[in-house]
């Protein structure tokens, strides 16, 4: 049971983090009320100064946020009224809690988007530095988790850079669509006061204001869209972490993660567990769950505002917090990661990843590709039976399969040549 009658209805534990945005939105609202003569200049000044003082006191720790308040908006308005008297009671003129909350949420998420942009950009740069650290390392490229063709480790990381660049694009698109002010929508039908919505939107850094006041207070597409973007980002992080987990195993031994990002076993002293990578992989499900939470909250709501929407903040805030936490863990983990290029190259050589190039060698000498394919398949079977690779198989055995092979086959199927031959980057 709730400890107090108001606990079930309260949202202060979640929305108190928006105190700064609530104060800035209220200052903008008070300013336009005063400029339009709806408030006296004296009341406008008193409200603005009172809110500025409250912001300073909360940030400095002088004023703790009262967790018994219903929400951050009620707490700040009550504190303002206690400090400046009746002028504080006039702040809510021409405004509803509905457009106030919607405005605060957009302002707060806009700040979170800017921070997330920095983090994703830092991840892309970290991957670039790792590519430059190992520019010539050859590794197996995989399909179906089977060794397929030789590639550069740098090419593999480039694929993830492209994924994260798309994440940046989705973030920027969602942030742009979100940057519309709902302030002035009132409860749903606007306000009877002659407020200047354009001026308020501009002062808060919005690109404009919501054309539909009903949509202004009932829209949470931006929460869903941002959480969908975060879900895709976490899916990309999870895929990369899955590969790191495989690569640092003794079965692969392609990379080593720094001790700062692994843990030992409580029983087995030889173990070095990739806990950071595993936790990132696991936390992706948490963000996916937040997306489903938001979709489920919104799917059955009639216009306009409904109290169900109070649950939006817990989901979208947790999605951002989780993604930021994972990025903060992933960036130094990748930066400190060491490669074992010799192990990677050995795996590429032993997997006959140059078989396609061997077939292409015959094609260049006039043999139809399907015949070249079958001839190379016989060569691979011969190598498997005699512990050779295509780079070490004697020429006489090559010629026994197909007379078109000459001494230059060795240079042609060298892994470095196979990699260099392709337009990978």
413's enclosing H/E stretch is helix 409-413
**Residue 84: burial class (beta carbons within 10 Å; 0-12, 13-18, 19+):** buried
Where in 39-156 does DSSP place strands (E)?
Answer: 138-143, 146-152
Buried b (16+ CB within 10 A) or exposed e, 169-187: ebbeebbeebbbbbbbbbb
Q: Is residue 92 annotated as part of the catalytic site, yes or no?
A: no
Catalytic residue among 52, 249, 265, 386: 265
- Which two tokens mark 34? 């005063």
Where in 236-394 does DSSP place strands (E)?
Answer: 255-256, 338-339
Q: Is residue 181 annotated as part of the catalytic site, yes or no?
A: no
Q: What are the backbone dihedrals phi and psi of residue 394, each rounded to the nearest 5 degrees, phi first?
A: -60, 145
Distance (Å) of CA 64 to CA 72, 77, 355:
12, 14, 69
Distance (Å) of CA 20 to CA 56, 65, 76:
10, 12, 10
Catalytic residue among 144, 185, 198, 210: 144
Angle of helix 72-84 relative to helix 19-35, nearest 10 degrees, comes to 50
Residues serving a catalytic function are 144, 265
């Amino acid at each position: 049971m709730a400890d107090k009658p108001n606990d079930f209805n309260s949202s202060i534990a979640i929305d108190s983090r928006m105190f700064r945005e609530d104060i800035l939105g209220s200052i903008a609202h008070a300013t336009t009320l005063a400029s339009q003569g709806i408030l006296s200049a004296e009341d406008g000044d008193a409200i603005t100064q009172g809110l500025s003082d409250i912001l300073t006191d909360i940030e400095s720790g002088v004023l703790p946020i009262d967790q018994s308040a219903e929400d951050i908006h009620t707490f700040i308005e009550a504190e303002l009224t206690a400090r400046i008297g009746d002028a504080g009671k006039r702040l809510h003129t021409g405004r509803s809690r509905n457009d106030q909350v919607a405005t605060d949420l957009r302002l707060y998420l806009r700040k979170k988007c800017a921070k997330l942009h920095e983090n994703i950009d830092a991840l892309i740069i970290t991957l670039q530095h790792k590519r430059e650290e190992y520019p010539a390392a050859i590794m197996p490229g995989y399909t179906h988790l089977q060794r397929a063709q030789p590639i550069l480790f740098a090419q593999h990381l480039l694929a993830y850079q492209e994924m994260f660049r798309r994440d940046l694009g989705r973030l920027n698109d969602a942030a742009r669509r979100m940057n519309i002010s709902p302030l002035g929508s009132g409860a749903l039908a606007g306000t009877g006061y002659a407020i200047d919505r354009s001026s308020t939107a501009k002062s808060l850094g919005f690109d404009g204001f919501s054309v539909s006041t009903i949509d202004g207070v009932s829209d949470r597409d931006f929460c869903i869209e941002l959480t969908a973007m975060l879900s895709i980002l976490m899916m990309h992080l999870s895929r990369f972490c899955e590969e790191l987990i495989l690569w640092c195993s003794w079965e692969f031994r392609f990379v080593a993660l720094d001790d700062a990002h692994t843990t030992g076993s409580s029983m087995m002293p030889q173990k070095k567990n990739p806990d950071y990578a595993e936790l990132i992989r696991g936390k992706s499900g948490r963000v996916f769950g937040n997306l489903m939470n938001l979709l489920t909250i919104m799917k059955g709501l009639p216009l306009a505002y409904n109290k169900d929407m109070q649950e939006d903040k817990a989901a979208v805030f947790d999605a951002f917090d989780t993604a930021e936490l994972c990025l903060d863990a992933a960036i130094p983990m990748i930066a400190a990661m060491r490669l074992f290029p010799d192990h990677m190259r050995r795996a590429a050589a032993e997997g006959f990843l140059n078989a396609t190039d061997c077939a292409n060698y015959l094609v260049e000498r006039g043999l139809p590709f399907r015949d070249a394919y079958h001839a190379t398949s016989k060569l691979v079977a011969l190598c498997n039976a005699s512990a050779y690779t295509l780079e070490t198989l004697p020429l006489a055995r090559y010629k026994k399969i197909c007379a078109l092979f000459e001494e230059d086959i060795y240079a042609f199927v060298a892994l470095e040549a196979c990699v260099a031959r392709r337009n990978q980057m």
